[in-house]
Chains A and B, each alone.
Chain A
């Protein structure tokens, strides 16, 4: 008996010493609730990035510990604390949701760790709450709708009806569109969001229909996008109120919309800083391997998560695995010296990317799958409008 026990302990020791990771990366995303569909995509991309790196940054092993925020700010903060205190991670990344990131940021920054957002880009963190240890691998919330606003001006849209969820990012999206759109906003609805989000938009769509607007602009990410697109389609608005969206029609919702055959969305236009059709080597490899492995196109969430891991790996190499060297880590991250799938970009004073934004169109690819394709560059080397309010130099 004793012998068996000793063997088990020895084996455990052996396993743990073989797989002991040098660098631990915390990655907070949503793995439960319907929004888990986004989390799953991000997790897949993280694992693909690790595979492409052979699990190593230079000579150092990287281990990613995933945390589930349950689509709620309080749970997100708890899981962040757990990653910091219990799992003792060296760096924290992830975060889909702006309100979750806002609730969790203090824990990470107070612990003196680097925080990288793989998606959320709330205006607060770009302006007053900016921090030298915070980096965005995505965008500031306002930027993508700002690009959309420019598209409206070009297309001669005079009046607009806006719908978005009522939370930090929803408000930023509305602010972003109002920043560049020169026409008139004739109506606006902010709907309930979170684990018990409102998914039946009958009342709002009826209002939009009678508003007489030239176009309908929406922001409904994740599971809400399918529900919204469907109801828009069923309400027969396609010909009288053209749909424009950001973060709504993406790699996550397209396969589902195609399965239900909502052909109305083919040809619809969205803005984004990345697209599967972007022509650079890193992106080609990422999209090809992602499609092979998971049988569908990666979403922008996946692209940003893939970038996050590569960005962290580049910083780890720069400081040779010394994660206490914050100065070195910061300057490596700030240089954005890695092969991003969106192509080359740089960082502004508030550590948000200065990058291009593209207009993309929903098309059918050669295999008959629905995807998006870049048709125009709307904003070139665009910096978010909050950078001036950040006191970092």
Chain B
């Protein structure tokens, strides 16, 4: 096998993995701590992409657009929590699914009305538009490297926030035992709203990072939300560390499956059969992995203790 290609594909897998982590970390916080199933998390990701796209054209700078989009997305998350999530906390999961599914339809339609069906391509500055030589024959697009770096910074920032700050302590306590935290006099409502806003911001960042590659388009959130759920289930619901490991694992398996499965299949079946079956199997690969991991660890890789 060609090791240069393998290395490039590992970097590509890493890039997909960190994007998945940005979406899944918010989802796992909201699901784990608030016990709230938020299908509309993907819509926030989409809004991040669209808002950033509009601002990029308005300000003529991708960088400023991202900086300005962050607080906007955080506020959207905060408001979403107050008006949509809060009234649903006391209900069961089915109501959460119905409520947030409705929110997806509403947000998608609003986005369709504002931005049209066409999707928006985001121009990025020239210094991000080229390629970087990592070694003599390894070259990857600068922007993809940027995604990996920003994603890792956000990931370690979040791990630090959750593990080493007072807010993080409260978040972890909330994940373990919500009633006890409330009984100890913590304003659980504000804590929830803050968690929601953090989750929304992370998803928004993911949307802003992917938009220059795939464009901001309607329904882009619905594509990633299913995979994000796979990530949090494999990682253990409520665990940020689990989401990080699972996201990278899934990103790598998906990318490597897409790139090498047909070559692998050609070893023991005809070329035509390999070409037909490889795309089907590679799109299943992450679910196969989920089934495998859950059969050994039914609560995921890193389930939070004392739930």
Asked if A pairs with B, the answer is yes
B-contacting residues of A (Cβ < 8 Å)?
Answer: 31-34, 36-37, 39-40, 166, 188-192, 195-197, 199-200, 202-204, 206-207, 210, 223, 226-227, 230-231, 233-236, 252, 256-257, 259-262
Q: A195-B223, A252-B118 are in contact. List 13 more A-B contacts (CB 8 A).
A: A34-B119, A40-B117, A191-B279, A196-B226, A202-B144, A202-B255, A206-B9, A207-B5, A210-B4, A223-B215, A234-B213, A236-B141, A259-B121
Q: Which residues of A contact B100 (CB under 8 A)?
A: none
Q: Which residues of B contact A235 (CB under 8 A)?
A: 131, 141
Known: A206-B12, A223-B119. A199 touches B214 (CB 8 A): yes
Candidates A40, A190, A236, A257; contact of B275 at CB < 8 Å:
A190
Q: Which residues of A contact B119 (CB under 8 A)?
A: 34, 37, 223, 226, 256
Cβ-closest chain A residue relative to B225: A196
15 chain-A/chain-B pairs, Cβ below 8 angstroms: A31-B117, A36-B117, A192-B279, A195-B222, A195-B223, A196-B223, A196-B226, A204-B259, A210-B4, A210-B5, A234-B131, A234-B144, A234-B213, A236-B141, A256-B120
Q: In chain B, residues 221-237, which have Cβ atoms closer than 8 Å to a Cβ of chain A?
A: 222-223, 226
Per the CB 8 Å criterion, the residue count for chain B at the interface is 46
Known: A227-B213, A230-B213. A33 touches B121 (CB 8 A): no
Task: Check B244 for interface membership: any CB of A closer than 8 A.
Answer: no
Task: Check B195 for interface membership: any CB of A closer than 8 A.
Answer: no
Q: In chain B, residues 1-58, which have Cβ atoms closer than 8 Å to a Cβ of chain A?
A: 2, 4-5, 8-9, 12-13, 15-16
Which of B75-83, B122-130, B170-178, B199-207 faces chain A?
A: B122-130
Q: Which residues of A contact B212 (CB under 8 A)?
A: 230
List the 4 shortest-distance A-B pairs measured between CB atoms, nearest first: A36-B117, A260-B121, A199-B214, A34-B217
Instruction: Indicate if the CB atoms of A200 and B215 lie closer than 8 Å.
Output: no
Cβ-closest chain A residue relative to B15: A202
Instruction: Indicate if the CB atoms of A207 and B139 lie closer than 8 Å.
Output: no
Instruction: Indicate if the CB atoms of A206 and B5 lie closer than 8 Å.
Output: yes
Minimum CB–CB distance for B73 against chain A, Å? 21
Minimum CB–CB distance for A99 against chain B, Å? 15
Cβ-closest chain B residue relative to A174: B275
Minimum CB–CB distance for A248 against chain B, Å? 14
Minimum CB–CB distance for B239 against chain A, Å? 26
Instruction: Indicate if the CB atoms of A204 and B214 lie closer than 8 Å.
Output: no
Q: How far is the CA of A34 from the CA of B219 in the complex (A)?
A: 7
Candidates B2, B118, B214; contact of A200 at CB < 8 Å:
B214
Minimum CB–CB distance for A297 against chain B, Å? 14
Instruction: Indicate if the CB atoms of B219 and A33 lie closer than 8 Å.
Output: yes
Q: Which residues of B contact A260 (CB under 8 A)?
A: 121-123
Instruction: Indicate if the CB atoms of B275 and A188 lie closer than 8 Å.
Output: yes
Candidates A34, A166, A196, A262; contact of B117 at CB < 8 Å:
A34
Q: Which residues of B contact A39 (CB under 8 A)?
A: 117
Of A190, A234, A257, A260, the most chain B CB neighbours within 10 A belong to A234
Minimum CB–CB distance for B47 against chain A, Å? 15
Minimum CB–CB distance for B40 against chain A, Å? 16
Of A32, A207, A235, A256, the most chain B CB neighbours within 10 A belong to A207
Q: How far is the CA of A102 from the CA of B155 in the complex (A)?
A: 45
Known: A207-B259, A226-B121. A200 touches B16 (CB 8 A): yes
Minimum CB–CB distance for B206 against chain A, Å? 12
Known: A230-B213, A236-B130. A166 touches B279 (CB 8 A): yes
Instruction: Indicate if the CB atoms of A36 and B218 lie closer than 8 Å.
Output: yes
Cβ-closest chain A residue relative to B118: A37
Q: How far is the CA of A197 from the CA of B16 in the complex (A)?
A: 15
Known: A37-B119, A191-B279, A196-B223. A203 touches B255 (CB 8 A): yes
Q: How far is the CA of A234 from the CA of B147 in the complex (A)?
A: 14
Instruction: Indicate if the CB atoms of B214 and A196 lie closer than 8 Å.
Output: no
Of B143, B212, B217, the most chain A CB neighbours within 10 A belong to B217
Known: A236-B131, A260-B121. A206 touches B222 (CB 8 A): no
Of B8, B12, B214, the most chain A CB neighbours within 10 A belong to B214
Minimum CB–CB distance for B293 against chain A, Å? 22
Q: How far is the CA of A230 from the CA of B131 in the complex (A)?
A: 13
Minimum CB–CB distance for A263 against chain B, Å? 11
Task: Check B258 for interface membership: any CB of A closer than 8 A.
Answer: yes
Q: How far is the CA of A204 from the CA of B120 in the complex (A)?
A: 23
Task: Check B165 for interface membership: any CB of A closer than 8 A.
Answer: no
Instruction: Indicate if the CB atoms of A37 and B213 lie closer than 8 Å.
Output: no
Candidates B116, B122, B144, B258; contact of A204 at CB < 8 Å:
B258
Cβ-closest chain A residue relative to B123: A260
Instruction: Indicate if the CB atoms of A190 and B5 lie closer than 8 Å.
Output: no
Q: In chain B, residues 245-269, which have Cβ atoms closer than 8 Å to a Cβ of chain A?
A: 255-256, 258-259, 262
Q: How far is the CA of A200 from the CA of B255 in the complex (A)?
A: 10
Cβ-closest chain A residue relative to B129: A234
Q: Which residues of B contact A256 (CB under 8 A)?
A: 118-121, 215
Q: Which residues of A contact B275 (CB under 8 A)?
A: 188, 190
Minimum CB–CB distance for B16 against chain A, Å? 7
Task: Check B283 for interface membership: any CB of A closer than 8 A.
Answer: yes
Instruction: Indicate if the CB atoms of A227 and B16 lie closer than 8 Å.
Output: no
Task: Check B210 for interface membership: any CB of A closer than 8 A.
Answer: yes
Minimum CB–CB distance for A209 against chain B, Å? 8
Q: Which residues of B contact A223 (CB under 8 A)?
A: 118-119, 215, 217
Instruction: Indicate if the CB atoms of B214 and A227 lie closer than 8 Å.
Output: yes
Q: How far is the CA of A121 from the CA of B173 in the complex (A)?
A: 59
Q: Which residues of B contact A231 (CB under 8 A)?
A: 141, 213-214
Q: How far is the CA of A204 from the CA of B258 in the complex (A)?
A: 8
Q: How far is the CA of A196 from the CA of B230 in the complex (A)?
A: 15
